[in-house]
Structure 1
Amino acid sequence: MAAGPHAPPIQAHICVKGGTDAIAFYEKAFGATCVFQQLADDGKRVLHASLQLFGGEVMLNDELPEFGRDVLSPPSLGGASMAVAIAVAQPADVDAAIARAETAGATVVMPACDAPWGARYGRLRDPFGHVWEFNAPLPS
């Protein structure tokens, strides 16, 4: 886990069911790199992982109620409670990111479109229930 003066001011920390499968999905769908992974004592669940993707960091863990963690995965909540928004450089990058994730197993919730607020925008849900939004400014 990044900490101290070199850590980004805000980091996403997501909870999943099936942490090792989620890491593999994010590597395939988003080109993520797992820079750290520690399994829980059971040797199956992810206690903590750090993924580098889209120039930022996403931390990940499995549900771990025995550690007093009160963060649950989307299936346990009955849906996602937030979305992870990713700003990409070019409008075509939105379409490419969504297509790559869909090929890897994500479900497109809102196909990429030119949104009225001046951005190319699209949204998907990953196989673990998390919502990801992609956007890029449209040329003026």
Structure 2
Amino acid sequence: MSRLSPYIYCEDARKQADFYAKALGGEIVSVQTFENWPDASPEERSRVMHLVLKVGELQIFMADSSPIRSGNQIDLALELQSEAEARTVFERLSRDGRVIFPLKLMPWGSMLGRVEDPFGVRWQIAVK
């Protein structure tokens, strides 16, 4: 079976991944830097080339990149098992970010909300 994993380019992948690990209850399982990259300058050696954040069965890949240009062409949609879990994640992601659409009950019977986190990434939080 195929798996789709978001790949997020960041100004500071470690900081952003740590934020997501705390907000989503995940764990950083792998960090590779440019330390052994043949043409890396001394400044680049500590930058993140590839980071893996595990959140349940979900993998989020991240890397340092600059400059970063935020866009509005994509949201990350996260479906959670309970309203309590969704409210917790929504509150954590929106801290120092921006609520686009409050988390609330939709006409079709489930909860949905949209938030932009402090790094400019937009999330749709829903309850299954």
Deviations 1:72-124 (A, max 9, x none): 74xx1x42421111111112322121122234x33222111111232101111
Select 2:58's aligned residue among 56, 59, 75. Answer: 56
Name the SS of the counterpart of 2:14 in structure 1: helix
Shift of 1:48: 0.3
Q: Which runs of 5+ in 1 are unaligned?
A: 65-71
Percent identity reads 24
Q: Distance in 2 between matches of 1:84 and 1:30?
A: 13
TM-score using structure 1 length:
0.74
Q: Distance in 2 between matches of 1:96 and 1:84?
A: 17
- RMSD of equivalent CA atoms: 2.1
Name the SS of the counterpart of 1:22 in structure 2: helix
TM-score using structure 2 length:
0.80
Is 1:28 the counterpart of 2:22? The answer is yes
Alignment correspondent of 2:112: 121
Select 2:122's aligned residue among 106, 131, 134. Answer: 131
Select 2:6's aligned residue among 3, 12, 18. Answer: 12
Q: Distance in 2 between matches of 1:133 and 1:54?
A: 17
Q: Is the CA contact (8 Å cut-off) linking 1:124 and 1:132 kept in structure 2?
A: yes
Q: Distance in 2 between matches of 1:62 and 1:30?
A: 20
Q: Distance in 2 between matches of 1:20 and 1:43?
A: 14
